[in-house]
Amino acid sequence: MSNYQIKEIKSDRIGDKYFEIQHESGLKIFLYPKENNNSTYAVFGTKYGSIDMCFQSSEDSEVQKVPAGIAHYLEHKLFESEDGDAFTRYAKTGVSANAYTSFDATCYLFSGSDNIYEALEILLDFVQSPYFTEQTVQKEQGIIGQEIRMYDDDPQWRVLFNLLGALYQKHPVKTDIAGTVESIAKITPELLYKCYHTFYNLNNMALAVAGNIDVDRVLQLCDKMLKPSKPIQVDRIFEEEPQAIVQDRVEQKLSVAVPLFELGFKEKAGKTRLSSKEVAETEILLNAIASDASPLFRRLLDAGLVNETSFSYEYFEGPGYASVIFSGESKDPDKVADEIKKELAAVRQNGLNRDAFERSRKAVYGRIVSSFNSVDYLANALVADAFAERSLFDYLNAVASADLESVQNRLKTQLLPEYSALSIIKPAE
């Protein structure tokens, strides 16, 4: 057994535990054994997403600027090797494999109930073995170009990016994750290797495996497969984002039966992410204001302004950006936006009802506890929390111990109408 620090992290509240290992290769590993679970889910991720277009590592003499869409492009290319592709290798194990690029991370994952250790070996191997040539990079430009054009006509995608373009002046979160046909045309094998060696350094990555696993066996496999990385620091560079929004309303016509809307409220955000406590308080506040048990939702439903299934809210935050977003389908999106703003004004003036606060705190707590039965939730959350410098059980504790006053205080910096924008997709004529 290699020599590394292994920490057991326990929750007295739910009686679960997981292990956090700082591996000598530089990789942070999270193992969450759930003996009674039939399936296992693994995520190998890097803290590198679509917003990381301007950066300087401790190895660089100057700031690097790269084309939009390169993180997503790299994710596609990494499955290929000289000997074929990773999906072909996975097919022999029977697991289901995938990958995704978000604004601030790229993750490779698989789930299954058999041949888990073989699948894990494939995952650790191909993510550490980049292979890019002029020919394969050019071939991918056509494939990703088609994907970009497809997203240009996707109403759900457009309603979000139109909103982000209305809220953000400078921050790259307003740029499509896949980039543009023009930006991906500038991607070369050299640029891909540059970004790979900067961000796919094991010190910038995390591995989480949750489910029916033998901890020692996973660690032995990590000892065998992980290639030590030289520790490097990466400074992600963003232009200062003004507090003001770009415009308060944006509309587009696409092929939809009923108009789609997203109403976003921008707030100040720094490079350091919010604490578990702040995120927990926001979640409770949003649940009290807009969950399907809230007076606002009942009013919107009774007036026929939203339907049972489509109305939702989320706290959308990451490095340098944070917004609350309400979304749904409505025949009158402007009226829905007005009703939401009226409700916020009333809560600001009268405060949250204590009973509503308690119900919401319990509802959010219950939702989190039930997600601890899901191995995919656990593995994805462990990696996301590692990159945000938060911890899984801290969030649970923060929800359990939240108080009414702190939750109401979130309204001083959040959900301010002067920093809101409404994005609407209307049916094409």
d(C-alpha 188, C-alpha 184), whole Å = 9
Q: And the tokens for 4?
A: 């590394």
**Alpha carbons 292 and 308: distance in angstroms, whole number:** 8
> CB–CB of 285/407 below 8 Å?
yes
Q: What would the DSSP string read from start to end of 380-395?
A: HHHHHHHHHT--HHHH
Q: What is the dihedral of CA 359, 362, 367, 372, to 10 degrees?
A: 180
**Token pair in block for residue 335:** 């009226």
Contact present, 75 and 99 (Cβ < 8 Å): yes
Take residue 354 and report the two structure tokens written for it.
């204590």
Closest to 147 (Cα-Cα) out of 105, 176, 175, 178:
178
- At residue 153, φ and ψ (nearest 5 deg) are -105, 5
d(CA 253, CA 413): 33
Catalytic position from the list 8, 20, 75, 317:
75
In the structure encoding, which two tokens stand for residue 222, read together? 């990590």
Rounded to 5 degrees, what are φ and ψ at 23?
-75, 150
C-alpha 148/C-alpha 142 separation (Å) is: 10
With beta carbons less than 8 A apart as the criterion, state whether 262 and 420 touch: no
Beta bridge partner(s), residue 136: none
For residue 220, what are the CA distances in angstroms to 1, 68, 121, 211, 214?
A: 7, 38, 11, 17, 10
CA distances from 352 to 355, 371, 413 (A): 9, 27, 16
Q: Are 101 and 75 a contacting pair, CB within 8 Å?
A: yes
Q: If you ran DSSP here, which 8-state letter would residue 13 be given?
A: T
Mark whether 75 is an active-site residue: yes
Annotated catalytic sites, by residue? 75
